[in-house]
Amino acid sequence: MSERLLTVKDLRVSFMTASGEVQAVRGVDFTLDRGETLAIVGESGCGKSVTIQTVMRLNPEPPALIRGGSILYENGSVKAEITRLSDREMRAYRGKAFSMIFQDAMTSLNPTTRVGRQIVEGILHHENVSRAEAKARAIQLLGKTGLPSPESVYGCYPHTLSGGQRQRAMIALALASNPSILFADEPTTALDVTIQAQILSLMSDIQKENHMAMIFITHNLGVVAKMADRVAVMYAGQIVESGTLRDIFYTPRHPYTWGLLGSIPSLRMDLGTRLSSIPGTPPDLFAPPRGCAFAARCPYCMQACLSEDPGFYQVDAGHRARCWLLDRRCPREVEAPVGRDRTVRKAEREAE
Amino acid sequence: MSLLSSVSWKGWDSMLRYILRRFLISLATVWMIATICFFLIRMLPGNPFIVANPLDMTNAERLMDYYGLSDPLWQQYVRFLGNLVHLDFGYSLAHPGRSVNDVIIQYFPVTAQLAVQAILFGIPTGILLGILSAYRRGSGLDYGTQMLTILTTAIPSYVLAALLQLLFSVQLHWFPASGWKNFSYTILPTICLSLGLIAGYCRFMRTLMLEVGQQDYLRTAKAKGLSNIRIIVFHQIRNAILPLVTNLGLEIAGLLMGSYVIEKIFSVPGLGKYFVTSINELDYTMALGLVVFQAVVVVAANFLVDLLYGIVDPRVKVA
Cβ pair B3:A153 closer than 8 A = yes
Whole-angstrom Cα distance, residue A186 to residue A183?
Answer: 9
Kindly determine whether residue A99 and residue B223, on different chains, have CB atoms separated by under 8 Å.
yes
Residue B28: band (very low, low, confident or very high) from pLDDT cuts 50, 70, 90: very high
Task: Using DSSP bridges, classify how beta strands A230-235 and A37-41 pair: parallel, antiparallel or unpaired.
Answer: parallel
User: Given pLDDT bands bounded at 50, 70 and 90, which one contains residue A149?
Assistant: confident
Across the interface, whether the CB atoms of B226 and A121 are under 8 A apart is answered: yes
Single-letter amino acid code for the residue at B75:
Q
Q: What is the CATH number that goes with domain B108-270?
A: 1.10.3720.10
Q: Looking at the predicted structure, is the pLDDT value of residue B188 above 70?
A: yes
In 3D space, the residue among A297, A296, A321, A318 whose CA is nearest the CA of residue A306 turns out to be: A296
Written as one letter, the residue type at A311 is G
Cα distance between residue A101 and residue A20, in whole Å: 31
CA distance A171 to chain B (A): 12
- In this complex, which of B4, B216, B219 lies closest to A152 when CB atoms are compared? B4
Give the tens place of pLDDT for each residue, B218-241: 888 888 888 888 888 888 888 888
Task: Read off the pLDDT band of B128 (50, 70, 90).
Answer: very high
Question: In this complex, do A107 and B227 lie within 8 Å of one another by their Cβ atoms?
Answer: no
Give domain limits for chain B. Answer: 10-98+282-319, 108-270
CA atoms lying within 13 Å on the CB side of residue B67: 21
| Whole-number CA gyration radius for chain A | 22
Q: Mapping DSSP to helix (H, G, I), strand (E, B) and coil, where does residue B99 land?
A: strand
Q: What gap in Å lies between CA B276 and CA B273, rounded to an integer?
A: 6
pLDDT for residue A1: 47
* Residue at B180: amino acid letter: W
Pick B224's closest partner by Cβ from A95, A112, A113.
A95
Q: Do B224 and A122 touch (CB under 8 A)?
A: yes
Determine the distance in angstroms separating the CA of A159 from the nearest CA of chain B, rounded to an integer: 7
CB B209 within 8 A of CB B236: yes
What integer is the mean pLDDT of A297-303? 82
Residue B104's Cβ-side half-sphere holds a number of Cα atoms within 13 Å equal to 23
A58 touches B at CB < 8 Å: yes
Q: How confident is the model at residue B125 (pLDDT cuts 50, 70, 90)?
A: very high
Question: Taking Cα atoms as reference points, which of A96, A198, A213 lies closest to residue A147?
Answer: A198
Each residue's pLDDT tens digit, B143-170: 999 998 898 888 888 888 888 888 888 8
**pLDDT of B2 above 50:** no
pLDDT at B32: 93
Is the confidence at residue B212, as pLDDT, over 70?
yes
> What is the edge-to-edge ordering of all strands in the sheet holding A37-41?
A98-101, A181-185, A213-218, A37-41, A230-235, A238-244, A319-321, A313-316
Residue B7: DSSP 8-state: G
Would the CB atoms of A110 and B7 count as touching at under 8 Å?
no
Structural Rg of chain B based on CA atoms: 25
Q: Tell me how close the Cα of B217 comes to any Cα of chain A, in angstroms.
A: 4
Q: To the nearest whole angstrom, how far is the Cα of A77 from the nearest Cα of chain B?
A: 20
> From the list A107, A153, A176, which residue is nearest B217 (CB)?
A107
Residue length, chain B? 319
Residues B115, B118: Cα–Cα separation, whole Å: 5
Give all domains of chain A, ordered by start, each with its CATH number: 4-228 (3.40.50.300), 235-351 (3.40.50.300)
B3 inside 8 A of chain A by CB: yes
d(CA B266, CA B262): 6
Q: DSSP character for A296? A: G
DSSP A100: E
pTM of the model: 0.77
